[in-house]
Structure formats: structure tokens, C-alpha cells
Structure 1
Amino acid sequence: MLGPFARGQGATAGSIPGKPDLRVLSERPLNAETPAHLLDDAVTPAARMFVRNNGMPPDTRGIDRLEWTLELAGESCVRPTRLTLRQLQERFEHQTLQLQLECGGNGRSEFSPSVPGNPWTTGAVACPRWTGVRLRDVLDYCGVADDAVYVAYESADTHLSGDPERQPISRGVPVAKALEPESLVAWAMNGAPLEPLHGFPLRLVIGGWSGSVSGKWLTRILVRDRVHDGAKMGGQSYRVPCSPVAPGATVSDGNMCIIGSMLVKSLITFPESGACRTFGEAILVRGHAWAGDLGVRDVFTSIDYGATWQHTVLRPPANRLAWQQWSTWVAPPEPGYYEVWARAVDDNGVSQPVVMPAWNPRGYLNNACHRIALSVT
């Protein structure tokens, strides 16, 4: 029986303004994913970027975005200070990079036994162009002490409970990741100011890691002398078992480790799953591939359930931490039902698994091969 990934099943389309084709997975908080065939653009348009929230977005209507203030603080911040968006734009060199973001739980719906959380299929991934300044330059401005361990964020969104003392999410990354030249404090996406659902007026973009570290509606950057202990950093949030466990196992918080780089993965964006094609005609298949902090070495496709694999044409990324486009032609040997499978291999030679990867209690890091259905007549 064809699995949900190939059938393209998920929640029904909702009515998010400007995003009519996204599938709404939850309304409070609002979370929505993009069907795979709508992610065919090389650069993801705002209308097709997934929506991920842990709390309630702030009301930023009518604000003067240039006066939005970012505080730089923390135990290991040498010179705590505040900068407006205007000052960020005036004092630091601007950067525009195409950077891929993926929710850590993308693909959660495929785990068995099922796990709690948004039932993402394949659509919690995007790769727009972001404009801002390097986080490294901002950190150099305030000074990073020798004992610094983590760089974290706080944001203007509110907890679902409405309690102003509770944060919905406040995560971070090790200093080395924060200092990479691709880590940005961004105010624009695809040449336009950030949209409200994507962090207007200011956000972090930390490519290659779980999207949860790319805080939206950014108000504070904290340079910590320890692993950050904000909301959604402890317990089992954005963590997987430190050692493999059996499906359905109970894992204590102490045996869960923080997710770092995302894993190698690929997506078929054309044709749409369920497409019909005429026998005897070669069929164009294309998509994207990415590998967290690494690049992608190869992408293969199969039309015989993984019995044989064929190389695809793989393009280089626009820059480090952008996804890579791939394409190929397939020729089914006779009329009938087929599945196209895609499998990427990263720079270290590590491949996507054909079957589901190791089960974990929160359903993170599913990088199993993507599959679509084809009917050839």
C-alpha cells in the first residue's frame, strides 16, 4: 500500500492570507505546511513558505520597523547594548544569502508508533533569500567573552497561556555556529520586508539547523556562559535519544541530546504525486536536496522500489547552506503504476535511509527517502 508521503496526504488546505495553498496543521498556535509540488521554485516565495509557531505572534501592525530595538546581553556579552533596526542597517555590512530552513519535526507523521506534535509530512522546509547582517558582526560589536558557550534569542511572541512571564520558545546554538558567516540577523526575505508570520520586522536565520533556532520577532540576543536554558531547550524538546532506542520506548530527559545539524534529505517537487503520463515518453523528475551543515554529493532516483538507482544531474548550491536542485528523466518500461523514489548522499558519503530512520519520542529528524506516485498509460 502506498504510504502517506507518496499519496501526498495531510491536513486540508486552510485560509491563511497570502498562503492559500498551505495545509493548516493547527490553528493555535498556527502551523501550516506546503505540499511538495508547490516547493518547485529554486527560491521559495513567501506565499509557499511553511508557517511554524510555538506561541502567538505579536501584533506589529503600524509599528515603525526601523525603530524596532534589539538588546544584546548575557553573562558573556562584554558590552551589553541596544541597537535599533535602523542602526543595524547603518553600522554593519549587508548580506543576502539563500538559506534553507527546515522544522526539526518535518516528516513526523511517518513515525510508528505515532508521536505527539504537529503531523508534518514533507512541507516544513523552505529556501528563500534572506537579507540582513551577519550575526558574527553584531556579536563582535558587543564583544564575546572567552567563556562564551551559547548564543540564544528571545522574541516578542507570547505564550499560549497569555502569561507574560512565560516564553513560548527561546533557543540557541553553540558559539561556533553563531559565528559562521551564513548566520544572519535578517530584516528581509526575497527582497521585501519580512512578512508578519515570518518574523517582521527582525529575525535570526541559522541555516542548516532546526528552524527552531532561527528566532522570529527578535528582541534579545544573549551570549551565554552555559548551554542556554530557555523555553524549549530542556526536557525532550528538539532532542533525540543519545543512544538508539526501540520504537515506543520511554526515554528519560537525561538520555535525550540536543539536535544540531539537520540530516541529508531530498524532496521531489515535479511532477506532482499522482500524475499521469503517456507510455513511451521520458518523464522529467526534479527536486531539491540538502544536508544540514554539509553539502550534497549525489542524488539518485529509483522507479523499481529501490532495486536499482540512477544518478541525477545535481546543481551546486547558490551559497553554503542553500538547498541544491537536481533533475533527471525516467522511462518506465511498460504501462502501469510506479513510484519514484529520491535518495541524497551528503559530502561525507552518508545516504538517506530508504526506510524510516531511528524512532524517537518526539518524531524529529525523519530523513527517509521521499516517494511520489505515477500512473503510466
Structure 2
Amino acid sequence: MRRERGIDELYRDDPERADALVFGRRGLLKGAGLAAMGAAVGGAIPFAGNLPTGLVPGAMAQAAAGPKILKMDGKADLVLLGDRPLVAETPEYLLDDDVTPTDKFFIRNNGQVPEPTANPDAWELTIDGEVNTPLKLTLGELKKRFPHVTYRLQLECGGNGRAAFSPEARGNQWTNGGVGNAEWTGVRLRDVLQAAGVKPSAVYTGNYAADPHLSGDASRITLSRGVPIAKAMEEHTILAFAMNGQPLPPVHGFPLRVIAPGYPGSASAKWLTRITLRDREHDGAGMTGTSYRVPKTPMIPGGKADEKDFVILESMPVRAILTNLRNGTELAAGTRKVALRGHAWAGEETVKAVDVSHDFGQTWQACTVDAPPNKYCWQNWRTEMTLPSAGYFEFWVRGTDSRGRMQPAAAANWNPQGYGGNAIQRVAVLIKA
């Protein structure tokens, strides 16, 4: 006997057929379709008339089996996206802290984690290339010679939001959790570069690190990315040796790493051994083709990429997340006012506004947005929303940056590697009747 699939299973397995059954020919959610959708989400849908055709309710967006959870000493329950290399993201509801605790900070590796050095102060860093005086400094010398700085800096994977692209783009399917805002201590990269004497011919940095290639071939470089000289000389670009007041953990780059905030996390090399200044755009591993690059002009989603039309992804796009409610939260009967809060950031820019909708984007409520304590720290936002009744609701969260660029409803500018996907976040809640 054949078992009929529930609407939640049907949306997961065959969303086009689910839409046809639920919305009907005219794209209206009513009758049997509305009843089926309500049964699937566990309650009435007060703003069902606003639900766009093709939009799977947030409560049904994940497979029933749920995500894989990282099991690692010293780490919270991060979502495991890959184990070779190790990649894990932080669920939004674990990002509620102003400063992200180290155990909740996301992990993005490209190779193997090197064996921790027994004597971190003896770790050597080379500065060479387009400089007047090449330097070779131990970490101990670096700490003694240059002033220490401590900043709260937001770090985000270039592929954060990739899961929102359609068709699916290559790579780890990040949602919104490839981000963290830690307190980093180190020395300014510009102070070190100035000590070496930056030649006028220098235009780009090239970072090199100690992480072994996944193949085990010692001659292969895992990743070698860099930033324009102007970014390297920006005061918040640092060589960090401490995270949240403690030495860097091995998985986060012990004993020395770059932090280039506002740029994709790949520019913040871990296990740093060398920075070479180039007289041209760096062409190391991970700097060419479509790697960490986006098209200058829109391409057909799923189409063939013209690499000549791609440019390096530098400043990350605006994004806002809600952190005090978990997707699928059930609220007590009679609840009408809901306090909401979260964080927002915008790469090289600041966040001008955060707005939240509870009726599938038909109306938006402005939130209070705090100024950051220092540049590149994420900004806190908060508001209180009044809901009209019991039932199923979704909070849609949308950020706008200081240049007026707003998060889209769906991931825009499709690219083969899925970079820069900053679709609005949707958080489902159910108020019991």
C-alpha cells in the first residue's frame, strides 16, 4: 500500500508539485491548500494571503533528519558542513552574545590543522617582496617591538548565505552562521609593513600559512590569498595572537593569524608564516578563476562562467540576523508582544537600518540600531513586534547599509561558487491557540 506524503515531506522532496497542490492555478493559498499548509506548520496562518507562491514556510525549510552536529572538545553544538576540510557554522540562535565566545565561533579550514607548536614565541613570520628591508621576526619579537591593539572585529566566510542560491552553487551550504564577532588582540599589520619599508611598487599582499594540503603533498599550497595595500595599511587589519583574551586556539590559527575585517574570511590567513608584497594583484592559490570572485555583470543562474568578467570579492554585503529566537520556536498561548534582537554588519560599510516584517514582507517595522564600539564590529539591533493573534508567523529580517544597499528577498547575483548570498533571514514561530 502506498503511503501519501505529508505536505512538509512533499515540499522537501518536490517543491514544484507541492506548490501546484497547495496554491492551485491562480497562486492563491486557500481551501484545502491552506488547510494542508496550516496542518504542516501546526496552526493557522493569519497572513496566508501574503505568502508568495513558491516560498516554502520557514518551519518546513530543513529536512526532517536535521543538521549534523559537530562533536569537538571546546566547541558548542555547531552545524557540521564538512569534515575534510573541517567546516562548521554557528546556528543564529547561538550568536546572541555581543562578543562571540570562542566555543561558538564558526570554523572554516581549507587544509589540515597543523600540529600546535610547543614554543609559540619562537614562531617565525617573514615579510618580504616589495619592501626595502625584508624582515624575519619571531612572535616574541613581534609582541615586544610593536604596540598591541584590541578590537571587536566581525569575521565572515565569503560563502556565508550560499544555501540560498538557486540553483545550488558549489561549496559548503552555509546559511547565516559563517560569522563571528570576537575580541582580537595583536599588532597592526601596517606597523610591521612600515618597519620593513613599503616600496611604491607594492600594490597587493600575498599571505602564506603552515596548514598542510589535504593531499598530504608538502609541495602544494593550501591557500594563499591577500588584500590590496590600502586594506593592509588600514588600522583594523591586524596580526592577531589572542582571541577573547586567550592565545588563539589551534583551529583558529594558533599562534598567529591575519584579521582583515570586512573582507571574506579567506583573507584572514590562519597559521601565518609569511606575507610577501606584490607589484601586482596576488595570484596565489584561491585568487584566480572564479575562486572568491563574483561576476561584474549578472549571469544566468546555473550558466557557464566567463572568468574574464569576474572580479575579486572584497567588501562583504550587508546582512542582519535575529539571534534571540530559534527557527521553529513555539510561544505560549496569549502571546502578542515579542521582543526581537540580533546583529547586523556590512563589510567595509556600516549598517544604516534594520527592518523586520511579520506578514511575509507586506509591511516592515524599523528597529533600533546601535553604533559599533569600533569599525568592523557588528551592530546590535532590537525591536518589539505586536502580533494580531495565535498562529504561524515568520519574522523576516532585512539590513540596509550606509550606501542604501538593502538585503534582497532571494539571493542575488548568482555565481558558480555562491559568494555574497545575503538573502533576508526568515525565522518561524508558532503561537499556540
Which TM-score tier does this pair reach, normalised by the shorter chain?
over 0.9
From 339, 349, 358, give the equivalent of 2:394.
Answer: 339
Deviation at 1:110, TM superposition (A): 1.7
Deviation at 1:98, TM superposition (A): 0.5
Deviation at 1:8, TM superposition (A): 9.5
| Amino acid in the other structure paired with 1:310 | Q
In 2, Cα distance between equivalents of 1:8 and 1:193:
38
Q: If you compute each CA radius of gyration, which structure gives the higher value, 1 or 2? A: 2
In 1, Cα distance between equivalents of 2:124 and 2:289:
31
Deviation at 1:66, TM superposition (A): 0.7
In 1, Cα distance between equivalents of 2:267 and 2:409:
28
Alignment of 1:11 with 2:75, yes or no, is no
In 2, Cα distance between equivalents of 1:260 and 1:5:
34
Name the counterpart of 1:178.
Answer: 232
RMSD (Å) for aligned C-alpha atoms: 1.4
In 1, Cα distance between equivalents of 2:63 and 2:393:
15
In 2, Cα distance between equivalents of 1:152 and 1:3:
41
Deviation at 1:20, TM superposition (A): 3.6
Deviation at 1:142, TM superposition (A): 0.5
| Amino acid in the other structure paired with 1:52 | R
Q: Which residues of 2 match residues 134-213 of structure 1 at below 5 A?
A: 134-213=188-267
Inter-CA distance 225–4: structure 2 relative to 1 (3 Å threshold): farther
Name the counterpart of 1:24.
Answer: 80
Q: Which residues of 2 match residues 36-55 of structure 1 at below 5 A?
A: 36-55=92-111
| Amino acid in the other structure paired with 2:390 | P
Deviation at 1:236, TM superposition (A): 1.1
5+ unaligned residues in a row in structure 2: which ranges?
Answer: 1-55
SS of the residue corresponding to residue 273 of structure 2 reads: strand
The question of whether the paired residues in 2 share the 8 Å contact of 1:129 and 1:190 is answered with: yes
Q: Which residues of 2 match residues 160-309 of structure 1 at below 5 A?
A: 160-278=214-332, 279-309=334-364
In 2, Cα distance between equivalents of 1:7 and 1:234:
34
In 2, Cα distance between equivalents of 1:8 and 1:2:
12
Deviation at 1:281, TM superposition (A): 3.6
| Amino acid in the other structure paired with 1:329 | E
The question of whether the paired residues in 1 share the 8 Å contact of 2:164 and 2:423 is answered with: no
TM-superposition CA deviations, 1:174-200 (whole Å, max 9, x none)? 000111000000000000000000000
The question of whether the paired residues in 2 share the 8 Å contact of 1:6 and 1:273 is answered with: no
Name the counterpart of 1:33.
Answer: 89
In 2, Cα distance between equivalents of 1:141 and 1:3:
53
Q: Counting helix residues as a fraction of each chain, which structure ranks higher?
A: 2
Deviation at 1:280, TM superposition (A): 4.0
Inter-CA distance 340–291: structure 2 relative to 1 (3 Å threshold): same
Q: Which residues of 2 match residues 351-366 of structure 1 at below 5 A?
A: 351-366=406-421
SS of the residue corresponding to residue 97 of structure 2 reads: coil
The question of whether the paired residues in 2 share the 8 Å contact of 1:13 and 1:20 is answered with: no
In 2, Cα distance between equivalents of 1:5 and 1:179:
46
The question of whether the paired residues in 1 share the 8 Å contact of 2:116 and 2:250 is answered with: yes
Alignment of 1:330 with 2:385, yes or no, is yes
Deviation at 1:252, TM superposition (A): 2.5
- When the two structures are aligned, how many residues end up with a matched partner? 375
Name the counterpart of 2:112.
Answer: 56
TM-superposition CA deviations, 1:256-282 (whole Å, max 9, x none)? 211010011111111111111233441
| Amino acid in the other structure paired with 1:36 | E
SS of the residue corresponding to residue 86 of structure 1 reads: helix
In 1, Cα distance between equivalents of 2:60 and 2:162:
11
Deviation at 1:4, TM superposition (A): 8.0
Name the counterpart of 2:18.
Answer: none
Alignment TM-score, normalising by the size of structure 1: 0.97
The question of whether the paired residues in 2 share the 8 Å contact of 1:7 and 1:273 is answered with: no
| Amino acid in the other structure paired with 1:38 | L
Deviation at 1:7, TM superposition (A): 5.1
In 1, Cα distance between equivalents of 2:209 and 2:353:
38
TM-superposition CA deviations, 1:201-242 (whole Å, max 9, x none)? 000000001000000000001111111111100111101112
5+ unaligned residues in a row in structure 1: which ranges?
Answer: none
In 2, Cα distance between equivalents of 1:284 and 1:8:
28
From 312, 321, 328, give the equivalent of 2:376.
Answer: 321
In 2, Cα distance between equivalents of 1:274 and 1:7:
10
In 2, Cα distance between equivalents of 1:232 and 1:11:
28
Counting aligned pairs with the same residue, the percent is 47
Name the counterpart of 1:348.
Answer: 403
SS of the residue corresponding to residue 100 of structure 1 reads: strand
Name the counterpart of 2:28.
Answer: none
Deviation at 1:3, TM superposition (A): 4.5
Alignment of 1:376 with 2:431, yes or no, is yes
In 1, Cα distance between equivalents of 2:262 and 2:74:
26
The question of whether the paired residues in 2 share the 8 Å contact of 1:155 and 1:220 is answered with: yes
